[in-house]
Amino acid sequence: MKSNEFVLVLDFGGQYTQLIARRVRELGVYSEIQPFHYPLDIIRGRAPRGIILSGGPASVFENGAPQPPQGIFELGIPVLGICYGLQLIAHHLGGKVDPSARREFGKADLVIDNREDLFAGLDGSTTVWMSHGDALSKIPPGFEPIAHTSNAPICAIRNPAKKIFGVQFHPEVVHTPEGKRILGNFVFAVCGAKGDWTPDAFVDRAVDEIRARVGKSRVLCALSGGVDSSVAAVLIHKAIGDRLHCIHINTGLMRKGESESVVEAFRKQFHIPLTYIDASEDFLARLKGVMDPEQKRKIIGKAFVDIFERDAKVLESESEASHQGVFEFLAQGTLYPDVIESVSFKGPSVTIKTHHNVGGLPERMNFKLIEPFRELFKDEVREVGRRLGLPEELVGRHPFPGPGLAVRILGEITREKLDLLRDADEILLNEIRKVGLYDDIWQAFAVLLPVRSVGVMGDGRTYESVLALRAVTSVDGMTADWARIPPDVLATISNRIINELRGINRVVYDISSKPPATIEWE
């Protein structure tokens, strides 16, 4: 579902690589991340408007340090190297990189020596974010310096004839206030992009591509009721109508009343064919005694596929009898961060955890996948949903993990724990809605811990479970900070949970950011 024009980001393992793509998209230009060794002939054939070389933890001097495809600087495509990307430009084009006399991490004052092209419209100096150990000591032939800091005499370079640029700092992070403008100068002034990456344009392209791919076949949609699968279902229904059939599986791991509301909305409001399956006993049986979170995810992923394949056969036999066609495709609401975090082929980075929509699925499947949002961030999916006319209470919902409450109960899962967590989670969400905080928070939820603590209720001793509250603010889920919920609101939530729910006598609040923590606990 890509734009006709795009900027290619080659990933050298930088912690901010995803932010580069996100910032370029915010400018209205589609951006895509590929591994540093992405083949040159594919790059040439796809003809990106520009190429950005990301940062990375390696040194260009190390054996096995990631290198760009040979010949990338001779394609005639504009290139911007960021941090390690700048050092690669120098290393490959005749410059020199040396270990810095003083490593530089954090904010620095950038003095701009040339305010053409890359720094057009900026003042003579600006704040930037540094994170490097090596630095340029010699500029490659044909290049000129265009900015410096007190610690880095060569902090930005350009070769205007070849349209190759490099910066030592990170324009993609919020700590570089003018970073978006700098990226915009590269994307528009240097690369000549038009900026046609909009939700409306995405919907039009996606509808055309889904129709072309599906043909006369039919599609099953794994409808959880969350933002991603809901918007995907409405988008696919727009493309192929009632040849889409949704299946909602009540795993027993859903939030309180969620399955009932999903069935009501999709049957009566959106008029999309839907089969409801109560598989809660099946999921609980498969998860009995399982403690490891990765094992939980894989078990849940396999259960989903097993149930889909089983019920697809029933639906297919019904379709054949009425000559409606066969189900060849399975639709999922997989997002770009799911792909990035789950699959390390994007670059030399570490796999954090398996996501339900990606690594949790077994290799053998009887469906071809349709994942219209595989290259989108969460906020982009929300905008697509708004363009499709979905109500704000649906598109504005907090993210909910594919494995559901299974990854919010640490340790073994039981029906009693699920019911307890459901009630606690509902209290949390109701209270933050009541004070108008829900839309300011990216995600809020409760986690039931495998820990008991001593408490006093009335005049008696209790020994009951500990519940953790988690609430974060974020733009796209790639990074997050803990939400500063007022203490009196937290006190109300805690008092309600402890007083109204039997089995919890202590509530704690998680104040970890991502990184180093992940948003979900498992």
Catalytic residue list: 83, 170, 172
Q: Residue 110 in contact with residue 169, Cβ under 8 Å?
A: yes
The position carrying tokens 């008092």 is: 495
Distance between CA atoms of 7 and 78, rounded to whole angstroms? 10
Burial code (b: 16+ CB inside 10 Å, e: under 16) for 419-449 equals ebbbbbbebbbebbeeeebbeebbbbbbbbb
CA angle 270, 276, 277 (to 5 degrees): 160
CA angle 420, 426, 428 (to 5 degrees): 105
Which residues have C-beta within 8 Å of that of residue 222, sequence separation ≥ 6?
A: 229, 247, 249, 304, 308, 330, 331, 332, 333
3-state SS of 327-394 is: EEEEECCCCHHHHHHHCHHHCCCCCCCCCCCCCCCCCCCCCEEECCCCCCCHHHHHHHHHHCCCCHHH
Distance between CA atoms of 271 and 260, rounded to whole angstroms? 15
Q: Is 1 helix (H, G, I), strand (E, B) or coil?
A: coil
Other CB atoms within 10 Å distance of the CB of residue 24: 27
Q: How far is CA 160 from CA 78, 117, 165, 190, 318, in A?
A: 10, 9, 8, 9, 64
Both tokens of 46, joined, read 């796809």
Identify the CA nearest to 402 among candidates 337, 488, 345.
Answer: 337
Q: Residue 481 in contact with residue 474, Cβ under 8 Å?
A: yes
